[in-house]
Each structure stands twice: as C-alpha cells, then as structure tokens.
Amino acid sequence: MEGQSTLSPLGMSKQLVRTAVTVRAPATTANLGPAFDVLGMAMDLWMTVRVESASRFEMHVSGEGAADVATDEGNLIVACCYRALELAGFTKTNMPRLKFTVTSDVPFGCGCGSSSAAAIAGVLAGLSLSGHTMPVTGSETLLQLIAELEGHPDNAAPAIYGGVQLGIHTAGRFSSHRVSTPSYIWCVLFVPKNKMKQNTHATRKLVPSEVSMKDAVHNMGRTALITLAFATDKPELLRECTDDRFHQPGRSSIFPHLNATIEAAMRAGAAYAFLSGAGPTVCALVWGRRGDTVTMQRSERRCDDVAAGMLEAATRCGVPGAIRITRPTDDGAHVVTNGKI
C-alpha cells in the first residue's frame, strides 16, 4: 500500500507504511475464581477495528457498547492507537488523521475484557499502520504496555496471546505462560442487563488489601488445582475451586445474583463457575459439548441446562440478563488480511 506522508517540525518526512488495517481482539474472562489477577482465558467473541487514513478524524461504533463508549479522540482505542504511533516516532504535530470503524461482539462493561480488547486493538492497529515493532522474547513489551494500563496481566495476556494464560509480575516486569486448554470446553456466560455502576478500579476497593495466611493458602492451592485440571483434562478437580476467598465474597455484596448463579450452574452440570473478571457477568465452564446440538442426545446438552439454570437463579434474585454461549479461543489479537489471520 502507498504510505501517508507527513512532515515533522524539522521537515523530516514521516510515513505510514499502510493506509488501512483491520485488527481483531478477543473477549477475555479473568481471575477464574481464586486465581485473582493471575489466570485469564480468551473467548471466541471479538472486537473488530478498522483504521484508515482520512481527511479528518472519524469514529463509528456498532454492536456491544455502541451507546456507551466515547466516539471522540478520548476513546481508548483511539488513544492507544495514537500511543503506538508516538512510539513509532509520530508527534502531535504530524500525527496522521484517521478514521476508526469498530464492530464489537464483546460484552461491554461487565467483566469480559472489553477495555483490554480495545487497548490491544488500538495499539496493534497503530503498530501495523506505522510498521513499528516491539520485542517479545525476554521482554514482552506489548504485554507491559497493556498490563500497566490495568495494573495486572490476567486480561491483557490472553487477549494478546489467546488461550489460557498464567501471568505474573517479577523482576520489574509482567510475563505470561500458556496453560493447556482442552478443546471441548464451552463457556456459558450470564450477562446482566444492567452493567456495573462502578468501574473495575472502584470495585477493587471491595477486595481486601490483606488476607490471612489460611485464606492465602486456600486460594493458592485452588489456583494450582485449576491449572492442573486444565493441563490434565480433569474437570472433576474444578469442583473444589468455586469457593474463592479473595474477591468474590466482597463483590457479592453488589452482585446479588453471583452466588445463586454459580450454585445453579453447578447443579445443572457445569464443571466450574465463577465471577468473570470484576463482574457482573458469571461464567460457567461446561465440558463435552461437541458438534451441533441437533445431533446430541438430551443428556449431552448440558450448556442449555446450565444456561436455563443460571437464568432462573438470576431472575429469582431480581437480576435480568441474557445468556451468551461461546468457547475458548487459542487466537489472540491479530491483523486481518483478506478476511484471514
């Protein structure tokens, strides 16, 4: 593609190596119960962002969050795209004018990683347009950039790399490691109609800053058990992991449906259920659904049973909402070329 040329204050030409790019970033579910700020999983729900050179700034948003997000240069996608262009050497005086077109299937503002998807999509678009690259091995620079925005890597890592990621902070930086995920897990999401009145940072105030040694050991053991269950394909191990002691007890005070929907999901046949991120979405993991439900025996349709149980429990709590059924994805954020990765 022909590049768009701009002039720096010193008269030096600065070019975009592409005039348009389309990127996709996945939804994520974080914490997975007791693995607070550590484990996260990418889900097959996507935010698609097209960025192209234009005569003036424009932004068009459709799908999830369209009525709620800013459509000016303060939008997170836009801000992160500009940040990537700054890293590539563009300045405020020679920043190219861009048009942003966003279509999102990622549930907005409810614990499904919409902010991480937006940030990563923006940065990836800016990198692609400018041709700027970042080191990965030994530094994971893109992960540092996104995780520092949020303060933890549990959404950022799976959104970048896909799959289930175990993120830690050590030696002054974030790092992430992939956890094996069986290919036949399904995610049943109960997404409340009413989103969080507080943002994620506000709800973190409900999480204690200190915990007892007993509770720390409790959660550490269950975090290890989740990782083992995934790596060895033993979903029965997950039944021991639903009683988080770090963040779900505090957040249940503002999410009256939380405990009821988790219990209902487990009774209906889910292998595991937990608050997705900071909530209010609740995610249930179901093993074994394969192929089209039309061909399945009634006993195999556990996703439908789990969904019905969660909806009924939430309704009893006076919390209206909807069900989304999806599955983990091994694909992280990527540039789309001719409709393909």
Q: What pLDDT, in 10s, does the model give residues 240-294?
A: 999 999 999 999 999 999 999 999 999 999 999 999 999 999 999 999 755 566 6
Q: 236 and 271 in contact (C-beta within 8 Å)?
A: yes
Q: What is the DSSP letter of 3?
A: P
Task: Tell me the C-alpha to C-alpha distance, in Å, between residue 289 and each of 192, 318, 326.
Answer: 24, 30, 11
pLDDT at 4 over 80: no
Q: Which region among 71-85, 153-167, 289-303 has the lowest average model confidence (pLDDT)?
A: 289-303
The per-residue pLDDT for 205 is: 73
End-to-end Cα, the chain, rounded Å = 18
In this prediction, residues 69-88 reach a mean pLDDT of 96
What are 153-169's pLDDT values in tens digits?
A: 999 999 999 999 999 99
Nearest CA-CA partner of 14 in 124, 108, 89: 89
Q: 189 and 310 in contact (C-beta within 8 Å)?
A: no
In this prediction, residues 322-328 reach a mean pLDDT of 96
pLDDT at 10 over 50: no
Between 181 and 117, the higher pLDDT residue? 117
The per-residue pLDDT for 65 is: 94
Nearest CA-CA partner of 135 in 125, 143, 146: 143
The CA distance from 188 to 186, in Å, is: 7
The CA distance from 111 to 279, in Å, is: 4
CA–CA–CA angle 154, 158, 163 (5° rounding): 125
The CA distance from 26 to 245, in Å, is: 28
The per-residue pLDDT for 337 is: 75
pLDDT at 6 over 90: no
Nearest CA-CA partner of 246 in 270, 223, 268, 225: 223
pLDDT at 54 over 70: yes
pLDDT at 201 over 50: yes
The mean of the pLDDT values for the chain is 91
The per-residue pLDDT for 264 is: 98
Q: How many CA atoms lie within 13 A of 224 on its CB side?
A: 6
- Give me the residue label for tokens 């499904």: 112
The per-residue pLDDT for 300 is: 66
pLDDT at 9 over 50: no
The CA distance from 197 to 79, in Å, is: 24
The CA distance from 184 to 177, in Å, is: 21
**CA-based Rg of the chain, rounded to a whole angstrom?**
21
